[in-house]
Chains A and B, each alone.
Chain A
């Protein structure tokens, strides 16, 4: 039992318990994630076997703790159930990364008698943790850009992730270095150093022998990603022929929930509050799809630069905690099809008003501004369009204006993404009235 790191195995047991729970609930995707987490948590044992160096208890615990936290959260959808759960997980993972980075460098120093000041090693760990936290945001950005994963909810979400990461890295580095200097014994420090050298050996040889090749490959990869980012947006659909010019109109969805509308995406049901986007398929929290309801189908607004404005009255229902957190309502305009349109969106969850351009179902954000509204309240959302110039307003207050908005001519509609229900009681479109 002496070599058994009981705390790490308890964490692995938690991953297996999550796996069993998800299987019992027929949640195969959740079970798969928990299973992946268990496999990844075994990496320290693999390192130990391959390197023939005992992985120190503290190092293994830090790694397994990070993996258990990430994979149990992902498997149980805790990110979607608890509003700020991602801040806790992100900052903890970055904190553990910073600690591990500092430990490995300090261990390398002590195991091989190198001259590296302790403060310098701490700085290295701190910066390493912070940078990995910042680079993680690129993974999320890329997933959103190429896969519409909806991981980065807003600029504020990204920036507060980074703030959380940096605070976590700072405090963890201080604690980690104190722990290394005062708690770990000589053998554990030496093992840290030997693990560090084993881990760094391969990459170091690669850079020493094929540095230019690696650099060139990375440069080509970077250029390729940039090219791909433009290439995926090619062939944006043109405005369909045969559409009549749009005219001013008014919809009272309480009196007539479905009159003069056409469902393009999602479930829309009549309700005493008007017409509501709901999730009849009951998706898992965080997997809610957008819904799009076209107003005045067959009519195109903004043709030849004719100005128009759209105003809607909406209600974002606050979902119960077990159901998720999504509360978004919006106006779609310049709609070409269910995948290609412009969108003005207000989120009660993220306190955000945002203008997006959807291309082939993928969101390209053009402008956003923090603007606080709450769930279970009625609000007015309006958009004024004059050619490529768009002005966004909430409750008759202009929030921002944007030039060079692409493809603003097309059909108009109601848009929502919600964990409970987003309802619209009325809508108005006025042609020739944009400010």
Chain B
């Protein structure tokens, strides 16, 4: 049986790529709708925690951290969901809306996990004090995941009912551009990337494990 990878998907919905965007000004404004939405969402994703930190909202408003976690999970999942659906249609991938929504939730949930992992490693290795308790971490997860689930449903609805055909194509083009580089690296140097990631992960785990513990055989701390 031939694997789908062997028949690399290259067909597009109607042969429209990023270079064939509408030529008149009005059409370009419509085309840019999807990209503008993604840009605005990405900007909000970066700005929200930075502004919260700069204004001191974490200290001034009770549970502001939970609000930020919920909104961040929602924004990241919404971006990924829209790009995923656009990429699916552009590359004609056989992915149902339900599976796309599920995958979007997965990415949103994993964003929250990655955030907490960064905080944990930072606390462990730099003796900082970001994660206050297990309940603090779990409620961070909870609000992040809630945002991700809402965003997955919202992304599918937005994509199907609010975005025009050409806006979807712009999303698909943007997703294809984002995926293109990593995909080529994995295709050409998959084994190298795997080994590098494995070594880095093992080194990180060992570094975390032996932080302030004696190194075996060396008697060093």
Contacts and interface: CB of A to CB of B under 8 A. Distances in A.
B141 to A, nearest CB: 7
Contacts of B212: 372
A364 B135 CA distance: 8
B3 A181 contact: yes
A193 to B, nearest CB: 10
20 contacts: A110-B4, A114-B94, A116-B4, A117-B5, A117-B9, A118-B4, A128-B106, A131-B110, A134-B109, A135-B145, A138-B141, A155-B131, A162-B117, A163-B205, A166-B113, A166-B117, A170-B197, A204-B98, A365-B134, A368-B132
Interface stretch (A19-27, A119-127, A380-388): A119-127
B142 A138 contact: yes
B194 A119 contact: no
A130 B111 CA distance: 11
A324 to B, nearest CB: 21
Contacts of A157: 134
Contacts, number: 120
Contacts of A138: 138, 141-142
A103 B91 CA distance: 22
A233 interface: no
Nearest to A158: B134
Contacts of B141: 134, 137-138
Contact of B116 (A131, A159, A167): A159
A116 B94 contact: yes
A207 B156 CA distance: 13
Contacts of B192: none
Contact of A127 (B93, B107, B117): B107
B145 to A, nearest CB: 8
B196 interface: no
Interface residues of A, number: 52
Contacts of A367: 132-133
Interface of A: 109-110, 114-120, 124, 127-128, 130-131, 134-135, 137-138, 141, 152, 154-159, 162-163, 166-167, 170-171, 174, 181, 186, 189-190, 204, 207-208, 215, 222, 354, 364-370, 372, 400
Contacts of A116: 4, 93-95
By secondary structure, the A interface counts as helix
Give the size category of B's interface with A: 35 or more
Please indicate which of the listed interface residues A109, A115, A204, A208 has the most CB atoms of chain B within 10 Å of its own CB: A115
Chain A to chain B: the 6 pairs with minimum beta-carbon distance, closest first: A114-B94, A127-B106, A118-B5, A155-B134, A159-B120, A365-B133
Nearest to A165: B113
A115 B138 contact: no
Interface string B98-123: 11000101110110110011001001
A189 B141 CA distance: 36
A159 B117 contact: yes
B6 to A, nearest CB: 9
B123 to A, nearest CB: 8
Please indicate which of the listed interface residues A131, A141, A208, A372 has the most CB atoms of chain B within 10 Å of its own CB: A131
Contact of B134 (A186, A222, A368): A368
A373 to B, nearest CB: 13
Nearest to A134: B113
Please indicate which of the listed interface residues A158, A171, A186, A400 has the most CB atoms of chain B within 10 Å of its own CB: A158
B146 A222 contact: yes
B94 A366 contact: no
B207 to A, nearest CB: 12
Contacts of B109: 131, 134-135
A354 B136 CA distance: 13
By secondary structure, the B interface counts as helix
B137 interface: yes
B27 interface: no
A188 B97 CA distance: 27
B92 interface: yes
B58 interface: no
Contacts of A171: 198
A155 B133 contact: yes
Contact of A137 (B96, B99, B138, B201): B138
Nearest to B94: A114
Nearest to A119: B186
A368 B3 CA distance: 50
A126 to B, nearest CB: 9
Nearest to A355: B133
Contacts of A120: 93
A174 B132 contact: no
A365 B107 CA distance: 29
A375 to B, nearest CB: 16
A354 B153 CA distance: 39
B117 to A, nearest CB: 7
Nearest to B208: A163
Given A114-B4, A124-B106, A130-B113, 11 more contacts: A116-B93, A127-B106, A127-B107, A130-B110, A134-B109, A134-B112, A135-B109, A159-B137, A166-B113, A170-B201, A367-B132
Contacts of B61: none
B126 interface: no
A302 B44 CA distance: 47
Interface string B4-24: 110111000000000000000
Contacts of B96: 204
A385 B164 CA distance: 62
Contacts of A181: 3
Contact of A115 (B1, B93, B112, B183): B93
Interface string B172-201: 000000000001001000000010011001
B94 A127 contact: no
B98 A207 contact: yes
Contacts of A174: 194
Contacts of A208: 98
B120 A155 contact: yes
A189 B3 CA distance: 11
A366 B183 CA distance: 45
Contacts of A365: 133-135
